[in-house]
Amino acid sequence: MWTVVVDVDGAITKLQTLADSAAELEKPLGQFGAYLLHRAREIYQEQNFEPLAESTIDKRAQRGLRIMNAKLGRDLRKAEKRAKAAAEAKREPRGAAARLLAAIAGINEAELPAQATRGVVNRTAVLHEFRRRHRIGGKDRAARLREVAGLSTLTLRMQQSLSMRTVRQVASTVGRPILGGLPQTLEVTVGAGTVTLRSRTREEWTDVHNEGGEAGQGAEIPQRQTIKIEPSDLDVFVSILKSHILLPLDERQDPGY
């Protein structure tokens, strides 16, 4: 017979089982581990954690701006690619206007995106305006092209679209869940008479958030506990053992369980 010892914050509970080997406990322990994993994810979904510090919110907002900058850059490159493909399909040589535009901009004609089509000019203007508003980067090629294209200001519709896209991106980045990567790192392992729920990445990362304390570079992390066992969880474990007929008869009939 095997005795299962459960330690909940120092409160020890012993359960005498009818198991003759650790192998007989493997299945019920696996079921209990799956239950604990589900509970941890439920706690995560509730997001009932200490709010983010202002400095963390600021960092998330800056990350949102960087993501937006990258998206606008991709928009411009896609427009350039489409314009270049269209120009090559028509096999049209660059005209005098294109050569003049390149000369004024101070760039090689080869860098000029497909004779600066309207789509390219608009996306160039939007990218530069975004960088101007948020002081990202210097006077790059996009800025010079915008100037020589003669588009000093965006249309009202373009301004509104840029503002809304930026607000949505920043809000999405700032509002993403606390400990957003946690659910994907949790795993349950069942050993010889043991069950463990832990993070499969860096255990110390989980511990500092689960218990609170000092992290890297002296940062103070508030407790955001997701991995825990409460006394009520013991009742679930007992029910699982009962279903496998692994408790002595008197314990299985005990109304206290």
Give the three-class secondary structure for 241. Answer: helix
The secondary structure of residue 218, as a DSSP letter, is G
Asked whether residue 12 carries a pLDDT value surpassing 90, the answer given is: no
The whole-number average pLDDT for the span 213-239 is: 78
Per the model's pLDDT, the better-predicted residue between 121 and 146 turns out to be 121
pLDDT band of 86, cuts 50, 70, 90: confident
pLDDT over 70, % of the chain: 72
Give the three-class secondary structure for 189. Answer: strand
Per the model's pLDDT, the better-predicted residue between 115 and 50 turns out to be 50
**Residues 108, 75: Cα–Cα separation, whole Å:** 22
Q: Look over the chain and give the mean of its residue pLDDT values, rounded to a whole number.
A: 77
The whole-number average pLDDT for the span 234-250 is: 83
User: Picking from 92-101, 187-196, 204-213, which range would have the lowest pLDDT averaged per residue?
Assistant: 92-101
Tokens 């427009």 locate to 79
CB atoms within 10 A of CB 116: 20
- pLDDT value at position 166? 95
Give the three-class secondary structure for 140. Answer: coil
Per the model's pLDDT, the better-predicted residue between 227 and 201 turns out to be 227
Q: Are 121 and 151 in contact (CB under 8 A)?
A: yes
- pLDDT value at position 140? 57
User: Picking from 22-31, 46-55, 148-157, 235-244, which range would have the lowest pLDDT averaged per residue?
Assistant: 148-157
Asked whether residue 183 carries a pLDDT value surpassing 90, the answer given is: no
Tokens at residue 147, please? 């100037």
Asked whether residue 54 carries a pLDDT value surpassing 60, the answer given is: yes
Asked whether residue 255 carries a pLDDT value surpassing 50, the answer given is: no
- pLDDT value at position 65? 95
**Residues 24, 18: Cα–Cα separation, whole Å:** 9
**Residues 183, 173: Cα–Cα separation, whole Å:** 18
Cα-based distances in Å from 42 to 36, 51, 101, 156, 204: 10, 18, 59, 45, 22
Cα-based distances in Å from 192 to 21, 104, 188, 244: 9, 75, 13, 17
**pTM for the complete prediction?**
0.63
Strand-pairing partners, residue 189, are: 196
- pLDDT value at position 257? 46
- pLDDT value at position 115? 45
Which residue pairs, CB below 8 angstroms and at least 24 apart, start in 250-257? Answer: 251/15, 251/16
The whole-number average pLDDT for the span 32-46 is: 88
pLDDT band of 100, cuts 50, 70, 90: low
